[in-house]
Amino acid sequence: MRKTTIRTLATGAALTLGMGLAACSGGSDAPGGADGDGLTKFSFQINQPPNGSNAPFAAAVEEGFYADEGLDVEIVPGVGSSQTAQMVAGGQAKIGYADSTSTAGLIAQDAPLVVVATIYQSNPNEVIALKESGITSVADLKGKKVGTPVPSSQASMLPLFLEENDLTENDVELVNLAPTSLAQSLLQGQVDAILGSIDTYEVQLKEQGATDMFTSMFADNGVATVSTSIFAHEDYLKENPEEVKAFVRASIKGWAFAADDPKAAVDDLDALWGQKASKTSLEELQAAFDGDLLCAGGAKYVGRAEPEQWETTQDLLSSVELLPEGIDPTRYYTYDYLPEEGDLPTCPLG
């Protein structure tokens, strides 16, 4: 697992996130039924525009993994985990990809959702500071201005991160910032550090010329919570169990393919989306692997978070009121749609 580091980062192209319409493996853009090739149409609502964090799903399209399972998968871009979770809960989509904090929060309110496969076994959150701030350890945050994106889970989880390092919220000055201004605020010296993420804000800083950076991941500081997962509406699962199993199998195969060859997965993303894909997709995807997000928190298999990790997630997030107390974490997930253990990629990857 990646630990606290100080490292030199190279400058690259400017970050560009593309928004666009759905992309699919076949010629049809309407979900349901079968297309001319005899494949079953399948619509998948993701939580972000086309970028590195979802490139392995594009790889599953372009490499034919979904087609091999008899599926013509349509990938529909999103604008955040909360909206994706709400869309599936409300029936606007049937199956989606979102942070489990958003999904579990709705399940705790009796929304008919369930997680069927966990891709990011831990959140990608981290503290980031530039060399000139003088911050070389978490202890150095004491008395510093720390920018946090609003809304976000980072600020809510911060007390847990600080407690692990013998600090409290009173030891830092939190500065609420719009997510779009977080990186610039750090680069311009308006804050000493930010609560960011390995696969987004760190990449943005790198692309904008940051070199020496101190980073410390929440997952390495006692706050490894189950994160981005494939989830579905319960009714859809009951009506289409074999299709969901096939989709999960092919999706996990796409992630295993991407882990072996991240560039090929990003090439597939570009082939599927063209200019709508993020220009820093390779860096975003590689960051997820560098951060061990697919195998964090004691995971044994890619795609399956262990019961202990779900219990830890419930305990941690309920302690900061991101989830209600007293919920049995087995309400959030099922293993019924995963491949058998012998068919799942094992951790650690590589």
Q: What is the pLDDT of residue 252?
A: 98
Q: Mind listing the pLDDT tens digit for each residue in 35-80? A: 657 899 999 999 999 999 999 999 999 999 999 999 999 999 998 8
pLDDT of 82 above 50: yes
Q: What is the pLDDT of residue 32?
A: 57
- Side-chain-side CA neighbours of 323 within 13 Å: the count stands at 28
Q: Over pLDDT 70: what percentage of the chain?
A: 89
Q: Which residues of 123-140 are buried (b: 16+ CB within 10 A; e: fewer)?
A: bbbbbbbbeebebeebee
Cis peptide before 348 (omega within 30 of 0): yes
- Model confidence at 5, pLDDT cuts 50, 70, 90, reads very low
- Over the chain, what is the mean pLDDT? 89
Highest mean pLDDT among 35-39, 191-195, 201-205: 191-195
Q: Which domains does the chain have, with CATH numbers?
A: 23-122+225-343 (3.40.190.10), 124-221 (3.40.190.10)
Other beta carbons within 10 Å of 328: 9
Contact 112, 94 (CB under 8 A): no
| Rounded-to-integer distance, Cα 90 and Cα 99, Å | 17
